[in-house]
DNA sequence: CACGATTCAATCGCATGCAATCAAAAAAAG
DNA sequence: CTTTTTTTGATTGCATGCGATTGAATCGTG
């Protein structure tokens, strides 16, 4: 069991770079699926949040995605320009903007159903094989755990 | 063993989002360490590549990091403006630009030695505990494998 | 009620990412 | 040796991310 000293700054030793590279690779892999639908990857994520419940305030979307208004406001304006979301000031509290889906977006929901399965294939897995799905689930949980440790809730 | 059908579009089911969120969380975690040194995270990565061998052409840097000249050219100009790298057209082949480190950058190399250890702590691990380092290594390898599957070499 | 603190979205500035295009240089074809 | 193709980096345009600031609305407290 020889202990070989390793340069701690070597790129291929960095978890951060592995994450950075994998994240960009996955985002790129979504491109061919989303671009024909007129969606970017972050826009797709916003729709996923809204599919789970509407309407959502900009703050709620930001909490779900870890993005701030500086990123979300222009992104939402583009989604609005695409006819996929509506933005409306809350009458009760004029500070908040409630974002909801259009009919067009709800129709997109059907089209998007197949996207995750296609992505599993791109990941090199078989969507029919439980083992492959379990591998993905394990990796996903490890990443969520890492994110939680880096961003402790404001408790 | 009840099989509960799960909405495949649920955000917390997406490996892509786990990656996306974790990558941004890690990049943010580097901020406090790099900002005092006048570095951004991608600039830090470029320096890591150069620490492993100089000079490097823009193409070589791009291959190592998975970035193209559209990203690297302005980034390298900023690193040059910071006095950390030199850029010089190759006399043999006027197409290539060779990027090398300045004395200032080599001095930075010393300062950066401790960064990876500090990051392990932020990840919630103990740099002295081999088990924690092994966990990080496993996650890193899983991510590298995913990236490779998504970007098969042009063979 | 007054008023300072807080919340919320928008705006601004800067630094990526990345596709598409360009121009120059070099290599390959003929 | 000339033409064509390829390689390499730069440039442009667009869409994020994100810190910092702003401005409006609301809340908390006295």
Q: Which nucleotides of C are covered by protein (CB under 7 A)?
A: 7-13, 15-20, 24-27
Instruction: Examine residue B62 and state whether it is found in any structural domain, yes or no.
Output: yes
Cα A139 to Cα B60: distance, rounded to the nearest angstrom: 30
Mutation choice for A interface testing from B16, B31, B144 by most A CBs within 10 A: B16
Q: Which domain holds residue A84?
A: 33-112
Nucleotide with smallest C1' distance to residue A59 CA? C8
A104 with A119, same domain: the answer is: no
Q: Is pLDDT at B140 greater than 60 in this prediction?
A: yes
CA angle B43/A44/A30 to nearest 5° reads 65
A66:B29 CB<8 A:
no
Q: How many helices (H) does chain B have, and how many strands (E)?
A: 7, 3
Q: Which DSSP letter does residue A15 get?
A: H
Please answer whether residues B39 and B85 qualify as being in contact, where contact means their C-beta atoms are separated by less than 8 angstroms.
no
Q: Which nucleotide has the least CA–C1' distance to B78?
A: C15
Indicate whether A60 belongs to any domain.
yes
Give residue B155's pLDDT band: very low, low, confident or very high (50, 70, 90): very low
Q: How far apart are the first and last CA of chain A?
A: 43
Q: Do A103 and A140 belong together in one domain?
A: no
CA atoms within 13 A on the CB side of B120: 22
Number of Cβ pairs < 8 A linking chain A and chain B: 174
Residues forming beta bridges with residue B100, ordered by sequence position? B86
Examine the domain organization and report whether A60 and A105 are in the same domain: yes
Tell me, yes or no, if B71 comes closer than 8 A to chain A by beta carbon: no
Task: Note whether residue A19 is domain-resident.
Answer: no
With a cut of 60, say whether residue B51 has pLDDT above it: yes
Q: Distance (Å, rounded) from C-alpha B7 to C-alpha B2?
A: 16
What are residue A85's DSSP bridge partners? A101
User: In the prediction, which pLDDT does A155 show?
Assistant: 42
Residues A55 and A82 in one domain: yes
Give me the CA B93–C1' D4 separation in Å, rounded: 20
Q: What is the CATH number of the domain that holds B105?
A: 1.10.10.10
Which stretches of chain A score pLDDT less than 50? 154-155
Query: Does residue B70 sit within a domain?
Result: yes
Task: For residue A63, give the chain B residue with the closest CA.
Answer: B21
Judgement on whether residues A45 and A78 belong to the same structural domain of the protein = yes
Contact call for A113 and B8, based on CB within 8 A = yes
Q: Are residues A128 and A69 in the same domain?
A: no
Please give the pLDDT value at position A72: 98
Residue B28 forms part of a structural domain: no
CB distance B84 to A46 below 8 Å: no
Other CB atoms within 10 Å distance of the CB of residue A107: 11
pLDDT for the residue numbered A128: 87
Mean pLDDT of B48-58: 97
Residue at minimal CA–C1' distance from C25?
Answer: B95
Q: Is the pLDDT of residue B132 over 90?
A: no
C1’ D13 / CA B118, Å: 38
Whether residues B140 and A18 touch (CB distance < 8 A) is answered with yes
CB contacts of A112 in chain B (<8 Å) are 9
Q: How far is A18 from chain B (nearest CA, A)?
A: 6
The answer, yes or no, to whether residue B144 has pLDDT greater than 90, is: yes
Other CB atoms within 10 A of residue A145 CB: 15
Q: Which residues of A touch B12 (CB under 8 A)?
A: 144
What average pLDDT does this structure show over B126-148? 92
Do A145 and A74 lie in one domain? The reply is no
């Amino acid at each position: 069991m020889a202990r070989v000293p390793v340069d701690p700054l070597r790129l291929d030793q960095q978890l951060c770079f592995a994450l950075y590279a994998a994240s960009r690779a996955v985002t790129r892999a979504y491109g061919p699926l989303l671009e024909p639908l007129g969606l970017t990857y972050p826009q797709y994520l916003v729709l996923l949040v809204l599919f789970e419940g509407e309407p959502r305030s900009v703050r709620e979307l930001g909490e779900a995605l870890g993005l701030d208004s500086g990123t979300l406001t222009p992104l939402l304006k583009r989604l609005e320009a695409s006819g996929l979301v509506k933005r409306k000031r809350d009458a009760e509290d004029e500070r908040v903007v409630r974002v909801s889906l259009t009919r067009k977006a709800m129709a997109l929901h059907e089209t998007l159903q197949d996207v995750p399965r296609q992505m599993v294939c791109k990941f090199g897995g078989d969507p029919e094989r439980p083992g492959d799905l379990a591998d993905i689930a394990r990796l996903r949980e490890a990443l969520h755990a890492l994110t939680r440790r880096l961003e402790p809730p404001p408790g």
